[in-house]
Copies of this chain bind each other. A is one copy, B any other.
Amino acid sequence: MTAHFGTAPGSLADAMAAAGTEIDAVLDQLLPRPAGPEARLAEAMRYAVLAPGKRFRPILAVASADLFGARREAALRVAAAVEFAHTYSLVHDDLPCMDDDDVRRGQPSTHIRFDEATAVLAGDALMPLAFEVLARPETHAEPAVRTALMLALAEAVGPRGMVGGQTIDLAVEHQPADIGTITRMQQLKTGALIAFACESGAILGQAPDSQRQALRAYAHDLGLAFQIIDDLLDVEGTQEATGKKVGKDAGLGKATFVSLLGVERARNQAQMLADQAVSHLEQFGERATFLSRLARFVVQRSH
């Protein structure tokens, strides 16, 4: 996590970098160490997770926990669970039978560096690890809170969440899709886990339902803005900056926000969504400054 966040002011970049460093340390600590005849599995899990990622989702989880004064250890454990879930989805999405991507986070994808079977298994092992981290008392003294976290994560990554979204993503490679389908795809594929990250602080802090709803609304707009920019970077970005192949969607003739709206309208839409995301944070006042600035950052990012 380096500190060049486009036009974001220095202090936001510094805060993100500092959170990223803390998150990386906890990821390292929670991942299994290679040992025994199954050592290769732990190696692949560590390779995929500890690669230099943006840590956008876990940073959202930490920021959300901050809003409710949650213990730092709790916040970082939830953040780690989010990053394990996210990384597993990247490892599986990159497989030859899925999106067939050779480069991820600026390094060979897990199935290239290891092999396909090991990549499938590394993803398979990261998912239960996320639940294991949430299930332990270190995450929260109250079992009801841990259960609520696990239920929300399970919904976010399951058939009505992330995996459902990836299913639609594969389907639209072969058939025309309208903006409604693309929006639903993104809400499931990336939006659901982003929403979990944003809501997790409210769950940890046992906040009133209205606050959890506000964060969900923030996440909804933020997630779509994030994805529109991702689509723009696929058109306008470079592999060097994004750490993954670009120009893929256009090459496949795949419907995206950019192909459906055009570059300019897509950028305006992302900007509008970011403004709207910020408006949902009003009730939190100054405490939500970091989350507001994060929403602005999302539409200005270059990777």
Mark A residues whose CB is within 8 Å of B.
32, 36-38, 40-42, 45, 92, 95, 97-98, 115-118, 120-121, 123-125, 127-129, 131-132, 135-136, 142-144, 146-147, 150-151, 153-155, 157-161, 163-168, 170-172, 177, 181, 184-185, 188
Q: How far is the CA of A33 from the CA of B98 in the complex (A)?
A: 23
Contact, CB under 8 Å: B125 / A98: no
Contact, CB under 8 Å: A38 / B92: no
Q: How far is the CA of A242 from the CA of B187 in the complex (A)?
A: 42
Task: Specify which chain B residues have a CB less than 8 angstroms from the CB of A146 in the assembled complex.
Answer: 143, 147
Contact, CB under 8 Å: A168 / B38: yes
Closest 10 CB pairs of A and B: A97-B116, A135-B151, A132-B154, A128-B158, A143-B144, A125-B159, A125-B163, A41-B167, A143-B143, A38-B164
Residue in B38, B132, B136, B150 whose beta carbon sits within 8 Å of that of A167 in the complex? B38
Task: Specify which chain B residues have a CB less than 8 angstroms from the CB of A153 in the assembled complex.
Answer: 128, 131
Contact, CB under 8 Å: A160 / B32: yes
Contact sample, A vs B, 29 pairs, CB 8 Å cutoff:
A32-B159, A36-B168, A37-B168, A37-B177, A41-B159, A41-B167, A42-B159, A97-B115, A97-B117, A97-B120, A98-B120, A117-B170, A118-B167, A118-B170, A121-B167, A121-B170, A123-B124, A125-B158, A125-B159, A125-B164, A128-B158, A129-B158, A131-B150, A132-B154, A132-B155, A132-B158, A135-B154, A142-B143, A147-B150
A196 CB, nearest partner CB in chain B, Å: 11
Contact, CB under 8 Å: B131 / A36: no
Residue in B127, B163, B184 whose beta carbon sits within 8 Å of that of A37 in the complex? B184
A185 CB, nearest partner CB in chain B, Å: 7
Additional A-B contacts beyond A124-B163, A128-B155, A128-B161 (12; CB < 8 A):
A37-B184, A40-B171, A92-B124, A97-B115, A98-B120, A125-B159, A127-B128, A128-B163, A129-B158, A132-B151, A146-B147, A150-B150
Most buried by B among A154, A157, A167, A172: A167
Q: Are A166 and B121 CB-contacts (below 8 A) given A32-B159, A37-B171, A143-B143?
A: yes
Residue in B40, B117, B163, B184 whose beta carbon sits within 8 Å of that of A121 in the complex? B163
Q: How far is the CA of A72 from the CA of B41 in the complex (A)?
A: 38
A28 CB, nearest partner CB in chain B, Å: 15
Q: How far is the CA of A128 from the CA of B166 in the complex (A)?
A: 15
Q: How far is the CA of A143 from the CA of B143 in the complex (A)?
A: 5
Task: Specify which chain B residues have a CB less than 8 angstroms from the CB of A120 in the assembled complex.
Answer: 92, 95, 97-98, 120
